[in-house]
Amino acid sequence: MFRNNYDNDSVTFSPQGRIFQVEYAAEAVKQGSVVVGIASKTHAVLVAIKRNAEELSSYQKKLFPIDEHVGIAIAGLTSDARVLSNFMKQQCLGHRLTYGRNMPVRTLVEMIGSKAQINTQHYGKRPYGVGLLVAGVDDQGPHLFEFQPSGMTEEMVAFAIGARSQMARTYLEKNIDKFADCDREELIRHGLRALKESLVQDRELTVDNTSVGVAGAVKADDGSTKVEPFKVYDQQDVTAWIESVADDKEGAGAGEGEGMEVDP
Amino acid sequence: MDHRPQAWGRPRDDVYGAYDASYLQSGGPKTATQSPIVTGTSVIAIKFKDGVVMAADNLASYGSLARFTDVKRLRPFLSTSVVGFGGDVSDMQFLTRHLNELAIDEAYEHESSPTSSSEDDPNAPPAGQLNAANLHKYLSKLMYRRRNDFDPLWNQILVAGFDSASAPFLASVDLRGTTFTSPSLATGFGAMLAQPIMRRYAATEADAARLTREEAVKVVKECMKVLFYRDARSLDRYSIAVVTKDGVELSEDEQLERQSWAFAERIKGYGTQTV
């Protein structure tokens, strides 16, 4: 009856100037469970909620190490993310082989940006149905990048993508000024609090469904920089962090003083 | 049996008549550079406590003919490293153009990004750019690749600058992709004539780390003089580059000073003999 004639492929504009296939791909990102990333002056962290398809199954991984210095968090089609992740791993390895250094994070992100954009411009191709947060450290310090299926990439101070990620973004926006000077542990706790904001009513962070990834570049007093390689923490390794944000009141930290008051 | 490879796998002449040889390629297999044509002679370099000094003369020889006397064989890269080329000059020009492209790409990548590490020193190069060690690694891969294509770039290259730990860096790569590093390095004739002199001053990394800039420049200038005396494909005009944390100081029109040819009288065995 009212069929949309302009969403059959990603090379056709609608009369309103939209490319529906690309917009649908952006919807796929919103179906994925939420991931949060924050960068400070010294660290870049990724935190994620893992989902299990059913009670008896394992949890789907959300964080992937790419190279010594970079990792990604995914929201959307995991299989598309694997393609991008393999590509990024190869590029990083190739760069290390030819130049003997870590690939600059911006260069890496621009590469997948170009790769994804090509898919939005060729008949018979489809955009990747996955959004990424790319966190890493290079000679210029820690970085956090957002990647969208449209091929758009952008450097972020903090960001969240995935289902109900608006709640997490609201938390991040309220606390944005604090992130730059946070130490490693504080930054992770901010990430977990943002994650909690976007949880549905009766769910909470557990060791089973929470992943944390950290990369860091801490400047020593003698001017040298100590690099902490990207590492993913799961299961018992995240227990302490979950407990440290467990006793926060609902939405605490979000608004100091403007939070809901308990009845006297 | 016909033993000529051209005849293999083709219809027999005695059965089918003579094969139309115009289908065969007469040129033989493709051949790449078999020897250098226009050449530059030695490049020499020595490390000192806060950097590296490199020098090469300005001559491009065509065989034994001193063909071009204003060829610059040292080039800075991103004003943090210096590359010196010995060997074929056209291959040097190819590499120079290639390095220009690389430098432009690098400069673009690091242009807009807010540099966090340059806060304390506004003159410092943008963090994350290719340093001399990265550049040397890249050139070694390039040279080795061309060797494996049996189309080598006929050069020996010295790369000077700093490594990722901000220590002075000096390394060599040749047309086969062979790499090595040492407190002092010399290509071509310099390996025989200048290297022993430089080793007297910087035999080990520890020695080089005690050398001052003035001493290093003096040693290099002395070596250039010895090379001009004894290397018949050399020139008394040369380029000298000093790489330090502050950047590259490159002087491309130096003249050998205080030459003394008194020793020449005592040399016997060449040219017309009067005795």
Task: Give the residue, A258 or A113, on which the prediction is more confident.
Answer: A113
> Could you tell me which residue, B6 or B170, shows the higher pLDDT?
B170
* Closest CA–CA distance from residue B118 to any residue of chain A (Å): 9
How far, in Å, CA of A77 to CA of A74, rounded? 8
Is B72 within a domain? yes
Q: Does A226 touch chain B (CB under 8 A)?
A: no
Read off the tokens for B109.
Answer: 């990548």
Cβ contact A99–B137 (<8 Å): yes
B205 within domain boundaries = yes
The answer to whether B205 faces chain A, any CB pair under 8 Å, is: no
Is residue B267 assigned to a domain? no
CB-based contact A104 B116, cutoff 8 Å:
no
> Is there a domain that residue B69 lies in?
yes
Kindly indicate the confidence band of residue A254, based on its pLDDT and cuts at 50, 70 and 90.
Answer: very low
More confident residue, A93 or A247: A93
What number is the average pLDDT over the span B51-60?
A: 97
User: What integer best gives the mean pLDDT of chain A?
Assistant: 91
Q: Domain for residue B95, yes or no?
A: yes
Instruction: Give the count of domains, chain B.
Output: 1
- Of the candidates A126, A133, A229, A219, the one whose C-alpha atom is nearest the C-alpha of residue B117 is A219
Does B21 reside within a domain?
A: no
Better-predicted residue by pLDDT, A140 or B134: B134
* Spatial contact of B42 and B198, defined as CB atoms under 8 Å apart: no
Question: Is the model more confident about A13 or about B118?
Answer: A13
Asked if residue B18 is part of any domain, the answer here is no
**A101, A137, A181, A218, best to mutate vs chain B, most B CBs in 10 Å:** A101
Tell me what ipTM this predicted complex has. 0.81
Question: Is B41 a known active-site residue?
Answer: no
Beta-carbon contacts of residue B59 (< 8 Å; ≥ 6 apart): B40, B41, B66, B68, B69, B71, B233, B234, B235, B237
In the chain, the amino acid numbered A28 is A
pLDDT of residue A139: 87
The shortest CB-CB distance from B137 to any of A100, A104, A224 is to A100
Cross-chain residue pair B141–A104, CB shorter than 8 Å? no
Is residue A257 pLDDT above 60, yes or no? no
The Cα–Cα gap between A161 and A146 comes to 9
State the CATH number of the domain containing residue B249.
3.60.20.10
* % of chain A beyond a pLDDT of 90: 82
- How large is the average pLDDT for residues B38-54? 97
Q: How many CB pairs under 8 A join A and B?
A: 39
Q: CA-CA distance, A116 to B217, in Å (whole number)?
A: 52
Q: Which residue has the higher pLDDT, A226 or B256?
A: B256
Question: In terms of residue numbers, what domain contains B51?
Answer: 46-109+128-255
**Do the domain assignments include residue B37?**
no
Grade residue B19 by pLDDT with cuts at 50, 70 and 90: confident
- Beta carbons of A139 and B130 less than 8 Å apart: no
Check A101 against B116: CB less than 8 A apart: no
